[in-house]
Amino acid sequence: MKIAEIIAQNSWAWLLVALPIGVGYAVLLYQKKAPWSRAFNYGLAAARFIVVSLIAILLLINPLVRQVINTLEKPIVVFALDNSESVAKNTAALDALLKQIDALTAQLAKEDVKVVLTSFNQENQLSNFSQVKFDAQATPLSAMLTNIQNLYENQNLDKIILLTDGIFNQGASPLYNTYKASIFTVGLGDPVPKKDLRVQAVIANKIAYLNNQFPIVADIAQTGFPNQAATVYLSQQGVVIDKKSIQFKGDNDVVQVSFLANAKTIGNQHFVVSVDALPDEFSQQNNSRDVYVEVIDGKQKILIVSASPHPDVKALRLALAKNENFTLDIHLPGVNTLKNEKYDVVILHQIPNTQRIGDELWEKFRKEQTPILYIVGSQSNFNSLNNTLKSLKIVPRGSQMDKVTPIWNDKFSKFTFDAKKTEIFKKFPPLSVPFGEVSAGANWEVLMRQRVGTVETQKPLLLLSPAPDDKVAVLLGEGLWQWRMEEFDITQKTELVDELLNKLLQFLNLKEDRRRLKVYPINNEFYDFEKVVFEAEIYNENYERVYGDAINLQLTDGNGKASNYTFTPTPENSRFEVGGLPKGVYAYTASATLKGKVETVKGNFMVKSMQLEDLTYTADHNMLQQLAEKNKGKFFLANQVEPLAKALLENRKPNLIHSREEVQELIHWWWLFFVVLVLVSAEWVLRKYMGSY
C-alpha cells in the first residue's frame, strides 16, 4: 500500500510563472494559420504546453514526492522436528503422523500463515517432513529452541511447535529457558519405561602413562530387571581383559563397576565396556560403550640441583609434585648421587656459585642444551653467569643484597596468566636480590620487574630467553618459599606460585618443530558422523611456507586395513578431509618429496561413536507438558493433530503492518522523462507528416 503526497521545495507561487511560460510558448508557436484543422492545431498546442510547463515546474518549484509504503508481515509458525535416532526407534506410526503434519502446514499456509519447517542438522528450510531422515546422533532441544528464537527475533514469530519424544542428551534442559514465542509440544515415542540394561556412563582418564595402570569406571543401569545379576566385561581389540559380576536391587538401579587397565602401548588405545544382554531386553544397542585413552611415553623429567640445602628447594618440590606430567629428582652435590638420566628441564639453585659447587653439572647441561631455570642468590657466581648468559648482565655492588617485591609485566605474552591473580603478587614478601645493576638484551622476555619499597623500577626480577636452541629462565632472587607461605595465608591455597612455576617449566620444555613437512589432524578425536580434517604445512630450506608439492597420505585402521589418498596444498586450501570413517583408532603416515628428499610424518587419531541416542528409549512427555505450560502453549499427543490445528488457528497473531517513508525529487522519476520525450517526438512527427516544420 502506497500513500503519496507532493511537497514543493520552492513556493507554489512559481506556478504563476511556469504555466504562463507554457501557454506563451504554445501560443507563439501555433498562433499562425496551419495547413491542418483547428482541432488538430489545438492538440499540438496542448502537447507543447504540457511539455514546457512540466519542465518549468520541475526547474522552478522542484517538487518532492513523499510516499508512505505499508507492507504486511504474516505471523510465523515454526514446526521443529526432533529427527534423532531415538524418535525413529520409539514411534511406530511416525510416517502417518508426518503426513498429517505436512497436511496441517499446507492448511495453515492457506490461512495466511507463514509456515517454516526445521529439524536438527539441516542446512536449509524443509519443504515437508515426509522425507526427513532420522539420523541425528544427539538431541540438543534447548539449543534448537534458542536458535529458532534468535533467527526470528525481529520477525512476527507466533508459535513454535516442537515435535519430540522429550529425550534431550546434549546441552541444558529446555525448561531452564523462557522463550518469547508460545511453544506447543507434540509428544512422540512411548513414555512407558522399557525393560532395558545399559552402560550408562564410562569415566576414564584421557591420558595415561606408558607401563602404568589406570582406572576405567562404568555405570551400569537397568530398568525392569530387579534382583537380577549380570556380567560386565572390559575388552581391548576384541579380547576380554577383565570381567566382573554385579547384582541389581531395585526396579531402576545403577551399579558402578571399576576396572584397572594397563598402558602397554604408546598411542591411542581403544577399550570397550560391555554387559551381557538379559531376556526380554528392549534393545541391546546400549549394552556397550567405547573408551579411548591416549598413552604417552613417560613424564617430563625435572631435576633440581642446589649448591646447599635451602627452603626454596622444598617449595619447588611441593609446587612441581602436583603436576602429574612431571617426575622430579633433587640433587645436592656431595650429599646424594645423581641418577644417570636424561632430564627435560634443570633448575639450578645458586649454581654456578663462588664455591664452584656443581659447576661440572652446569657445564654438562649447557653442552647438552638442556633448558635451565637459574635461581640467583647470595652464593651465585655472577662473572660465570654473565659470561654464559651474555646479553644478560648482573653487576652487583659488593655482597650487599636488596629486598624487592614482584611486579607482573602485563605485556608478557609467551603464556597466559589470569590478570586478576597477578594482583596478589603485590602482597608477597620481598626476595633477596643482588644490589646493583641489571640489563637484559632484546631477546629476553620479562615476566616480573623489581619494586624496591614503593618505587617501581625497570629492573627485571624474573625473565626468560626463548631462543629455540638455548631456552633459559632466570629468577634474580632467593626466598621463593616465603611466596608460597604468604599465598596460603591469604587464600588458603598455593595455586598462584605453583601455576607460575609449572607454566614456566612447561614453556622451557617446549620443543620447536623445525620439520619441513607437517601433516596433522586438527583434533585428536572425531565423531563418526564428522569429517576427519588434516592440516598440511610445507617449508623450504629457509623455513618459509611453500605450496604445490603433492602429499601422499595413508590411513590404517585397527585391523591393519590401509587407505591411500593424495592431495596438494594451495594458499587457498591447505586442508584435506576424509569422511565416512567408522569408529576406531587410526594411524596415519604422510610423505612428500621435497627437493629430491622424502619427508615423512606419522601420528594417530581416534574416531568415536557418540552413542547418546542409545542411553534411554523412554519418552519424557512430562517434561514436554511443563515446557508448553511455561511458555503459554499446549501439549498434544501424536494422535491429536486435529486439536493441534484448531489451537494453532485460534488466537493467532495478527498481521504486522510495517510502514516506511520515502521522499524523492519528482525530477528523478524516470518515467517523466519518457512522457516529455514521447510528447515532443509525437508533436514533431505529426507536424512533419502534415507538411509543416
What is the domain partition of the chain in residue ranges?
Answer: 2-69+662-689, 75-192+618-649, 196-296, 300-508, 517-608
Beta strands in 264-325 (DSSP E): 267-275, 288-296, 300-306
What's the pLDDT at 121?
Answer: 67
Q: pLDDT band for 92, please (50, 70, 90 cuts).
A: low
Each residue's pLDDT tens digit, 476-515: 999 999 999 998 998 888 888 998 898 888 888 876 667 8
Q: Judge if 75-192+618-649 and 517-608 fold alike in CATH terms.
A: no
From the list 582, 616, 528, 608, the residue with the least C-alpha distance to 283 is 616
**CATH 3.40.190.10 describes domain 517-608:** no
Note the Cα 139 to chain centre separation in Å.
19
Q: What is the pLDDT of residue 305?
A: 94
On the question of pLDDT at 93 being above 90, the answer is no
- Predicted pLDDT at 577: 93
CATH fold of 75-192+618-649 reads Rossmann fold (3.40.50)
What sign does the dihedral 162-167-168-173 (CA atoms) show?
positive
* Residue with the larger pLDDT of the pair 267 and 630: 630
User: pLDDT at residue 153 above 80?
Assistant: yes
* Mean pLDDT of the region 148-160: 88
The pairing of beta strand 345-349 with beta strand 392-408: unpaired
CATH superfamily of 300-508: Class I glutamine amidotransferase (GATase) domain (3.40.50.880)
> Mapping DSSP to helix (H, G, I), strand (E, B) and coil, where does residue 385 land?
helix
Whether 232 shows a pLDDT value over 90: the answer reads yes
Average pLDDT for residues 18-26, to the nearest whole number? 86
**Looking at the domain covering 196-296, what would its CATH class be?**
mainly beta
24-57 per-position pLDDT tens digit: 888 887 877 777 777 888 888 888 888 888 888 8
Comparing C-alpha atoms, which of 360, 335, 336 is closest to residue 348? 360
Single-letter code of the amino acid located at 95: D
Look at residue 1 and tell me whether its pLDDT is greater than 70.
no
Looking at residue 110, what is its pLDDT?
85
The share of the chain scoring above pLDDT 90, in percent, equals 25
Give yes or no for a contact between 434 and 459, defined as CB atoms under 8 angstroms apart: no
Q: Rounded mean pLDDT of 600-620?
A: 77
pLDDT digits 0-9 by tens, 326-338:
889 999 998 888 8
**How much is the average pLDDT of 674-691?**
82
What average pLDDT does this structure show over 157-185? 86
pLDDT band at 475 (very low <50, low <70, confident <90, very high): very high
Task: State the pLDDT at residue 178.
Answer: 82
Tell me what the pLDDT averaged over the chain comes to. 85
pLDDT for 513 equals: 65
